[in-house]
Structure 1
């Protein structure tokens, strides 16, 4: 969805949402026999009903609807995105005319007049419910379009988060394991935090990872910390800003920040890696494209290894999203430069040096990054001070996340 909003803002298109009524009943016909016992009110005189289309509750109900939508869109000359099967777009003579994102029976779409004409034809095939624009709710987010920018507001979700009460006497038993009821509450809090982090609060990513490692052995202390993090989500507006970017392809860059922390999970055995990615123009207008923070999949023996693996994963994310952007915009991958920032000088030296590191597994990862630089898939990998590392708060507890939130709120990224 973030790439969709980024392009819609860039093209100055009006973003709209369309809800399909009784969507599954408008899907493709089912090719197997499914019989239903009719409702008493139907007065069917003991007869069974044979189901022709999908219903909510069937395992393939959503898929049958998706296939029918895909079929109709292809008839209207929509093209499916090569790397995102839920996104479709229309081009005329190589120019992008509009985008459509599917989330089950909710469509998010934007485009020019020709695209709107195609959307009218699509609605004639699928009976549509409400059609909204300018200010509307979509899958839990409030989308607001004003003054040449698009705001993705997640604040209502945060304000409605439900926490749990813990008795003061129980709170003193910090090292005690949680009861089954408390364990259920703990999992619920983790689920709420996860949706917040994925949607609009990357600054809380490390707390989510740290608490998630406790799911099987959580204590009262962990439950108290989870409650505090849910309350923290309500202290700051959870907003993403998608400003209008310069449309000139030579002005666009993918700017990546990556960071890692060694041995700060699972009593020193696990390490954390994180990256965050923006699409930025020459005026520093920036749209957040992606972020990710997670426990590094293998045990690493050095800070260099942790930082290098984090950088490698971030660069892979850059290449992936650049492929989607170039597929949609009809431009060459070389038109969008990738610039990465790390706060570990050893990483820069390791990439530039011909000297091999002792860790033989790490040699493979370094070689992959070096190859990307040599082939000009990545334009620059630069060092920055730790205070300027925007991904810092995503890998360690206590790091200041307000600078990151400021960039997300304002839609301006002044990178070195």
Structure 2
């Protein structure tokens, strides 16, 4: 029997926007059935005409059967109720079937069959009609009113299309499980009456925050009217920023019709947060130490509404989008602090306002839909074209970096050829300032009119907010007083929580962790690792050893890491300081303290560590000298070492490489007008001051006669010698390494747990160190030696008696 034709024929479902070749965002929602357009467009209270009955088996319609008379209302096969008995409150008529036992409806094919030659092809609506109904542009189903639930049992009948398909229901349930069963992913709205019908159904096309970010996001439906008004103002402020930087343009109906057929429409969404939430919680947590009352904390950190309009960049095809952009390292940050103190410069932190909106120009067509609720002046169905990379796009960070680089270059700054995101301002051979960038945060130091003029111009061009004296930069509290810089992370340390285990679990120290416990263990390692790298290197080894056990962690690993958390909290006020001294930048030399522990890690691996920075050449004389620590490291040696000498040589080489890098940066800063190649070939490099507490390594490095038996160690020694500098035999002083007592070895605490952390904390806090052991250090060493001898003697006595 021929297929039905005419107005009653069902056009095949499509994954394209009707009237165009625009692809709907794939796999998010099923396509909208086009045969229900009349019901969607019907006026309120107007009854939609009944569709002619269709044979559920053959698919023949009324026209094919020659029926032209109006159809009788269909009856319910179980109750006998017809159309007149339909509930008036329902916005659709009740589904009906014939009195004959129905057959199952054939499922709609994913790809419609080709029409018969005699069949009239379906004519798509005009582009202007498509624009009037843009609910189908981005994968969202049309809004539908609420419908009372039916208590009738299931029948094999043609259900109303407003029932969500199985794919929609499954995705909805998965999203509910993602947020622990709470409907926190419903779209935000500030006017429930205006948007109730629009947001009646959950829309899986939305993109949601995951992980810890969910905790900080605020849902407008959970707020009181006063707080909602604050977020209305913050949304208006955010949209004003978009308009200020001309980030997007609203597409007209003609522009929508001219879009390419393969364009993909990308969603946007609001992200609402309390800007002071984290600081307020931390301040409340430590108010016992600060002495502030709850009222004072709430007054200092009030509720601050912040709204960010972001692009759902995960919907883009990222194969041809380059997203890499450099950021300054921790070494560059500490080096800038040391340079500023030695030159007597003031440091400043700058934050670029709405940095990702400032990038102009984009090489691809990026079409966006308006968020829900839409910003002022926009409708929920408006489409936007991005004029640059915006928050959420994959290349937003890179586009901002390119703009920042061009701006700094125009104002006389030069990017370091060695360190990423490290800029130098110079007038010929004279250094005027240094600067580092970390995304949209800048940290700089300098002097003179040229330096201040560049900051003033950048402040206006990049919309910077400049802070001096006391401020936060990349999670660190920085304070400069009388030319000295003090860095701490007390609030971040207090925010770290112990990993609590039940008492019965703690007793089984060799018991492996469960999957949830592994997740919590990895999270605690991440928190501790960030703080220890940034400001507390005295506990780096504890985090390193915990990270090495993460493949098969045990309860004992958690207990040891919790012990490190306690030590960190007990000394949360410790600071990393850069003190004033008589040392000038041009006189400074690179130094390194390197140490290793042989086979003290699981798998017979060895742990090494080093402390590197800048100091005076007089440090080898043994007396107190200024010291500026710029890098500390603790990690396992990847190669399994065969002896203590091999472990010490591997650790020493790692430290020498770090000191060589610092020396190269120092040489570039002192000679900003010379290329790196010329610096390496034509300039005299000051010898690195290297220190070890291993006598065997010191003698192997400095003696001209004799070679170790291990051939691998010979290669390591040769590499270290070449890196440190050539021995010119002007005197009989150590040519490559200097031996120091273990009590003065700053890196000893980076190689094993339960070491004395005081030497490294003292060097960081006071900015002064000496190689000659102090009287207190000598006494402490004698006590340790005496305890060791007493334990050895007691062991021998027990062996003789046994």
Bin the TM-score by the shorter chain: over 0.9
1:206–1:54 CA distance, 2 compared to 1 (3 A): same
State the SS of the aligned residue for 1:255: strand
Find the partner of 1:293 among 634, 638, 653: 634
2:563 and 2:737 mapped to 1: Cα distance? 37
Q: Which residue does 1:339 correspond to in 2? A: 689
1:214–1:373 CA distance, 2 compared to 1 (3 A): closer
State the SS of the aligned residue for 2:539: helix
1:360–1:100 CA distance, 2 compared to 1 (3 A): same
1:188 and 1:29 mapped to 2: Cα distance? 39
User: Which has the higher mean CA deviation after the structures are superposed, 382-391 or 282-291?
Assistant: 282-291
Matched, 1:126 2:475: no
User: Which has the higher mean CA deviation after the structures are superposed, 403-412 or 281-290?
Assistant: 281-290
TM-score of the superposition, structure 2-length normalised? 0.50
2:364 and 2:727 mapped to 1: Cα distance? 52
How far the C-alpha of 1:310 sits from its partner, in A, is 0.9
State the SS of the aligned residue for 2:556: helix
* Deviation digits for residues 143-198 of structure 1 (CA, Å, limit 9, x no counterpart): 11112211112222212212232222221122111111111111111111111221
1:251–1:335 CA distance, 2 compared to 1 (3 A): farther
Matched, 1:67 2:408: no
Q: Which residue does 1:383 correspond to in 2? A: 739
1:401–1:262 CA distance, 2 compared to 1 (3 A): same
How far the C-alpha of 1:211 sits from its partner, in A, is 0.8
User: Which has the higher mean CA deviation after the structures are superposed, 213-222 or 365-374?
Assistant: 365-374
User: Which has the higher mean CA deviation after the structures are superposed, 387-396 or 239-248?
Assistant: 239-248
User: Which has the higher mean CA deviation after the structures are superposed, 198-207 or 293-302?
Assistant: 198-207
Q: How does 1:12-411 map to 2 (within 5 A)?
A: 12-40=344-372, 41-42=374-375, 43-44=378-379, 46-112=381-447, 113-128=449-464, 130-236=465-571, 237-246=573-582, 248=584, 251-267=587-603, 269-281=604-616, 284-330=625-671, 334=684, 336-351=686-701, 352-373=703-724, 375=726, 380-411=736-767
Partners of 2:597 and 2:606 within 8 A in 1: yes
State the SS of the aligned residue for 1:137: strand
Unaligned runs of 5+ in 2: 1-332, 619-623, 673-678, 729-733, 773-802
Partners of 2:589 and 2:614 within 8 A in 1: yes
State the SS of the aligned residue for 2:417: coil
1:250 and 1:9 mapped to 2: Cα distance? 13
State the SS of the aligned residue for 2:552: coil
1:276 and 1:71 mapped to 2: Cα distance? 35
1:76–1:374 CA distance, 2 compared to 1 (3 A): closer
* Deviation digits for residues 289-320 of structure 1 (CA, Å, limit 9, x no counterpart): 11111100111101101101111111111110
State the SS of the aligned residue for 1:264: strand
2:361 and 2:760 mapped to 1: Cα distance? 49
* Matched length: 414
Q: Which has the higher strand share?
A: 1
State the SS of the aligned residue for 2:749: helix
What is the root-mean-square deviation of aligned Cα atoms in Å? 2.1
Partners of 1:338 and 1:379 within 8 A in 2: no
1:12–1:136 CA distance, 2 compared to 1 (3 A): same
Unaligned runs of 5+ in 1: none
State the SS of the aligned residue for 1:215: coil
1:380 and 1:302 mapped to 2: Cα distance? 21
State the SS of the aligned residue for 1:152: strand
1:342 and 1:145 mapped to 2: Cα distance? 33
1:57 and 1:379 mapped to 2: Cα distance? 55
1:194 and 1:299 mapped to 2: Cα distance? 24
State the SS of the aligned residue for 2:769: coil
1:131–1:324 CA distance, 2 compared to 1 (3 A): same
* Deviation digits for residues 200-238 of structure 1 (CA, Å, limit 9, x no counterpart): 222212211211111011111211221221121011133
* Deviation digits for residues 331-384 of structure 1 (CA, Å, limit 9, x no counterpart): 876464411110111112222244332222222111112333553599641111
* Deviation digits for residues 107-151 of structure 1 (CA, Å, limit 9, x no counterpart): 1112113211101111222122x3211011111111111122111
1:379 and 1:149 mapped to 2: Cα distance? 34
Partners of 2:359 and 2:400 within 8 A in 1: yes
1:115–1:355 CA distance, 2 compared to 1 (3 A): same
1:39 and 1:249 mapped to 2: Cα distance? 53
**Higher RCO (C-alpha under 8 Å, 6+ residues apart):** 1
Q: Which residue does 2:238 correspond to in 1? A: none
Q: Which residue does 1:412 correspond to in 2? A: 768
TM-score of the superposition, structure 1-length normalised? 0.94
* Deviation digits for residues 66-115 of structure 1 (CA, Å, limit 9, x no counterpart): 11100111111101111112111110131111111101011111211321
* Deviation digits for residues 43-75 of structure 1 (CA, Å, limit 9, x no counterpart): 347442121222222222111101110011111
Partners of 1:339 and 1:379 within 8 A in 2: no
2:737 and 2:707 mapped to 1: Cα distance? 19
1:180–1:160 CA distance, 2 compared to 1 (3 A): same
Partners of 2:740 and 2:771 within 8 A in 1: no
State the SS of the aligned residue for 1:18: strand
State the SS of the aligned residue for 1:89: strand
